[in-house]
Each structure stands twice: as C-alpha cells, then as structure tokens.
C-alpha cells in the first residue's frame, strides 16, 4: 500500500499534513513533520476523489451482548432490562413514560462503539473500487464483513489528502472489524500519520510490519519518531538493513527523513552531507528527485548558504512541472533578500 500510493503524494515546502511525505528538514511549529505519506487503501485507478453524498446505509450497531442480532437480551441496545422488560421495573417505567415510547432517549454510544460504527459511508462506494491486491487480503473474512471493511478502506483512500482526520476515522472503523489484517493496520497507520497522530501511526505501522514483515513503512515510521522528539530513533531506522534494498524513491524518502533528523540534532553539516550523497543531479523528473532537491536547497538556506540555496531552488523549480513545491517562491524571496 505504501508503495502503491507513494507516487501520488506531492512534496511541499517541508511536507504537508494533508498529503505530503516525511518532512524535508526542520520541523514546523509544534515539532511535527508535515504530511502523511499514503493511505492504507486506495480506490482503483480512475475512481473519483470528490466529496461523496451521504449514504442511506445504516451503520452496524455494536453491542457486547449475544442478543444483538435479535434485539433481545441487551439492556445496552434496547434501554430495557433483559427478558423483554417484564416485571415491576417495566410497570413502573411504563407509568412514568409517555405512551408510544415518547420521551425515551437512546443510550449514548461509547467511544468504542462509535469507533466501530465509523463515519457514514457514501452509498456510491461499493467496496469493489478497492485495489485487487488489497481486496485479496480480506478474503478470509465473511463476505458482508469484508465488504464493510473494504468500503471503509476505499473512503479512507479517497479522503486522505483532503480530509485526513475523517480518513483516519474510516480506517479505525475498518480496524475495529479486522484488526488482524496487515493492510488494515497499515491503513490506520498511514491515515493517522496524515492526520498528525504520530504515536498512533507508529504503533499501527509497527503492528503491520510485525504481520507482514514489510520494510516500506520505515521512512514514515522514522518521521514519526522525529515528530515525537526522538531523532536518534529515526536515525536508527534509517540505518536498518532493509533500507539497502529500497528502490530510488523509497531511498529518497529515507534520505530526506535522515537529513531532517540530523537537523533536529543541530548537525547541519551532517544533514547536508546526507543529502549530497543522494542522486541530486538525476536526470529523472520524478517527484522524488524534486523532493530531494528541495530538501537540499532548504538545508542550504538553513545553513546560511543563500547563494547555493538560490541555485538549488532554481534547479528544483526547473523540474517541478506539477508545482509540487514552492521552490519558485523561495527563489524569488532569496533573490530579493540578496538584492
């Protein structure tokens, strides 16, 4: 999942909470890296990300009682004593309450129940939009349950850029139903990261990694450590053996996080060296090259090397055809500063 969505995420001037990547350098206000990297699920290619209409489907109500499916035997679900409410309690309550049940309030949902219910699902999302490789991981669930989980994952993928908090709530609803499936924990972790819940993101991605052994989560996990004020732990992950097997894009992500951790520790020279060892002059115009160049320009500016920073902001802008960064604005500001 992380690999599938990685190329869809833009980089920014330092990344963005609503959909960027591990941060490019120094942390923004609040000590948090800006940007979530990928959603735990994605709609199939070509599916819409527009805001969906409200669904007519009612959420499945969770109660811990076995009588939930029949509506009997659960004081939580009916608001009455077990056994159909017969006896003194029923008579007393009937005398004091208006006829027809008027005035009786439904018991409030607990936090766990509300999480299980999840946000309302758009009626047009069927679950079939889920990527086939992800849907295959849900095959072990009962059909109805698998469909519900799939729908929450699809919506989480649709919203992770525009409304990461709501995407996270959908991912939590999926996790409440299928917490032993790695892709579901991945979804919860990556949407938590996008929403700025870094401790939760780290816990969920650790769980996913234990389940499937994937190393694709390492850059985002390292950036979570940075956000939590533990740059040394981020550096440990950056030196993990699995990083050596990363492709160019994943290596670039980890390099950006590693350089940011060095900056967190005040090691500006080490941060610059880390970035200088990366393929900054690659002929590719892929987003990961744009991000690397931007991170290097930003680090140069932070180190007081304005002329060098200006040159690299221009190099960034020259390949940033999709305007994923604000390199043009940064260059313009530096030009004015330098006269």
Structure tokens, 1: 């999942």
Q: What residues contact residue 270 under an 8 Å CB cut-off, 6+ apart?
A: 262
Q: What sign results for the dihedral spanned by CA atoms 237, 238, 240, 245?
A: positive
Q: How far is CA 118 from the centre of its chain?
A: 16
Mean pLDDT of all residues in 77-106: 42
Is the pLDDT higher at 122 or at 79? 122
Q: What is the pLDDT of residue 47?
A: 34
When pLDDT is cut at 50, 70 and 90, the band that residue 107 belongs to is low
Per residue in 159-209, pLDDT (tens digit) is 999 999 999 999 999 999 999 999 999 999 999 999 999 999 999 999 999
Per residue in 25-35, pLDDT (tens digit) is 544 333 434 33
Is the pLDDT higher at 282 or at 66? 282
Nearest CA-CA partner of 218 in 208, 14, 25: 208
Q: What is the pLDDT of residue 204?
A: 98
Strands, E assignment, the chain: none
Place of tokens 């850059």: 219
High-pLDDT (> 90) share of the chain, %? 64
268-276 and 248-264 are packed helices; what angle lies between their axes, rounded to 10 degrees?
Answer: 170
Mean pLDDT of all residues in 73-88: 34
Mean pLDDT of all residues in 291-299: 98
Mean pLDDT of all residues in 91-106: 47
Q: What is the pLDDT of residue 105?
A: 61
Answer yes or no: are the C-beta atoms of 261 and 226 closer than 8 Å: yes
Is the pLDDT higher at 22 or at 301? 301
């Amino acid at each position: 999942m992380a690999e599938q969505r990685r190329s869809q995420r833009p980089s920014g001037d330092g990344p963005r909470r609503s959909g960027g990547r591990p941060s490019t350098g120094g942390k923004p206000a609040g000590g948090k890296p800006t940007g979530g990297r990928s959603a735990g699920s994605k709609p199939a290619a070509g599916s819409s990300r527009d805001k969906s209409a409200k669904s007519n489907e009612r959420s499945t109500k969770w109660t811990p009682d076995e009588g939930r499916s029949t509506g009997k035997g659960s004081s939580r679900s009916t608001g009455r004593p077990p056994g159909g409410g017969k006896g003194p309690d029923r008579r007393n309550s009937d005398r004091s309450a208006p006829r027809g049940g008027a005035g009786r309030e439904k018991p409030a949902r607990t936090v766990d129940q509300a999480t299980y219910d999840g946000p309302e699902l758009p009626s047009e999302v069927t679950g079939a939009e889920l990527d086939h490789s992800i849907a295959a991981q849900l095959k072990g669930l009962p059909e109805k349950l698998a469909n519900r989980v799939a729908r929450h994952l699809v919506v989480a993928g649709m919203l992770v850029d525009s409304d990461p908090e709501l995407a996270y709530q959908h991912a939590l609803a999926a996790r409440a139903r299928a917490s032993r499936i790695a892709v579901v924990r991945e979804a919860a972790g990556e949407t938590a990261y996008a929403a700025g819940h870094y401790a939760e993101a780290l816990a969920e991605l650790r769980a996913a990694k234990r389940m499937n052994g994937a190393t694709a989560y390492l850059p985002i996990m390292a950036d979570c450590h940075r956000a939590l004020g533990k740059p040394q732990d981020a550096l440990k992950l950056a030196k993990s053996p699995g990083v050596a097997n990363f492709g160019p894009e994943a290596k670039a992500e980890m390099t950006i996080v590693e350089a940011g951790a060095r900056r967190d520790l005040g090691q500006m020279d080490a941060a610059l060296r880390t970035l200088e060892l990366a393929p900054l002059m690659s002929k590719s115009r892929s987003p990961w090259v744009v991000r690397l160049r931007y991170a290097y320009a930003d680090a140069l500016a932070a180190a007081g090397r304005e002329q060098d920073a200006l040159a690299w902001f221009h190099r960034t802008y020259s390949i940033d055809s999709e305007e994923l960064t604000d390199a043009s604005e940064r260059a313009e500001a530096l030009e004015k500063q330098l006269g």
